Amino acid sequence: MYLKVENIVKAYGKRKVLQNASLQVPANTTVSILGKSGCGKSTLLKIIAGIEQQDSGNIYLNEENITTKKANRRNIVYLFQEALLFPHLTVFENIAFGLRIRKQSNDHIRMKVNSLLEQLEISGEALKLPDQLSGGQKQRVAFGRALIINPPLILLDEPFSSLDVETRATMQQLYKSIANSYSITALFVTHDLKECLIMGDSIAYMENGNLTVYDNRTAFINDLKTGVKGEINFWNTLN
């Protein structure tokens, strides 16, 4: 397994947020985690990224134990709900940020950023500042900023939740195509049932800090707590 999360426990005071959460993600696949707001899914992602500290449990990436490694040494990119583009940097410089950290040459940076801008269909926006972009464009830039350093794992924390329905669908398709072409390994967290089914190669469900990982889609659909059956019944009733 490429990512292995073992028995993660996390509590804030007396409130237990994660209770022995375990998960495995094979290479080049996306696992989506469905759960209501406040169920602990974002905390799990932050712990994997290294920006939150777990109380106990281990994390392995490509068979290396990264549990105690600092966030900036893990090479795992966390994409927040908001695009969080650096407001004082242009689109070009936002995407180039990871390469500037790695002290790449200007020619190399220009070549890589321009190629990504083209792939993300935002070539014309390179010199704009973030506040001149639409919500969808901002998320594209955030993707570009993550992809440019070719991270072994990307963690997506409801990245499309603030977008309108149409843009959201476009971004989901864009992510799928990019995930295929870049062979991305990712964990995708969402509270949207449909998005969870579209985005994940496999699916997990989180409730009150307990994580259930399903062997296949049918098992996920048949589990009543996931709410899929209820959703199907609703649409059938309309018919």
Partner 1 sequence: MFKAKSILFFLLLIWCSLPLLILLGLSFAFSWTFPNILPRYFTLSHWGEFLFRNNNLQQSFFNSFTISLVVALTATLLGFICSRWVAYHKRKNLLLILTYFPFALSPVIFAICLKFYFLKTGLAGNLQGIILAQLIITYPYATIFFLSFWNNMIKNYQNLAYTLGSSSLFTYRKIIFPIAKSFLLTCFFQCFIISWFEYGLTNIIGYGKVQTLTMKVFQFIGEANIYYAALSSCLLVLPPVILLWLNKKFIVYQNR
Q: What is the DSSP letter of 208?
A: T
Q: Which is nearer to partner 1, 87 or 124 (CB)?
A: 87
Q: What is the DSSP letter of 215?
A: S
Q: How many CA atoms lie within 13 Å of 51's alpha carbon, on the beta-carbon side?
A: 13
Residues 174-213 as x/- pattern, contact with partner 1 by CB under 8 A:
----------------------------------------
* Binders of partner 1 in range 212-231 (CB under 8 A): none
**What three-state secondary structure class fits 216?**
coil
* Binders of partner 1 in range 138-167 (CB under 8 A): 145-146, 149
**What number of H helices and E strands is found in the chain?**
9, 10
Give the residue from 86, 150, 144, 152 showing the smallest Cα distance to 115. Answer: 144
Find the shortest distance in angstroms from Cβ 70 to partner 1: 8
Name the token pair of 164. 């309108």
Q: How many CB atoms lie within 10 A of CB 3?
A: 24
* Binders of partner 1 in range 96-115 (CB under 8 A): 97-98, 100-102
Q: In this chain, which stretch among 36-44, 60-68, 93-101, 205-213 interacts with partner 1, using CB under 8 A?
A: 93-101
SS3 helix, strand, coil % of the chain, rounded to 5?
40, 25, 35
Find the shortest distance in angstroms from Cβ 101 to partner 1: 5
* Binders of partner 1 in range 35-74 (CB under 8 A): 46, 49-51, 70-72, 74
Q: Which is nearer to partner 1, 74 or 140 (CB)?
A: 74
Find the shortest distance in angstroms from Cβ 53 to partner 1: 13
Give DSSP secondary structure letters for 122-182. -GGGTT--GGGS-HHHHHHHHHHHHHTT--SEEEEESTTTTS-HHHHHHHHHHHHHHHHHT
Q: Which is nearer to partner 1, 98 or 200 (CB)?
A: 98
Asked if 86 interacts with partner 1 (CB under 8 A), we say yes
Binding site for partner 1 (CB under 8 A): 46, 49-51, 70-72, 74-78, 80, 82, 84, 86-88, 97-98, 100-102, 145-146, 149
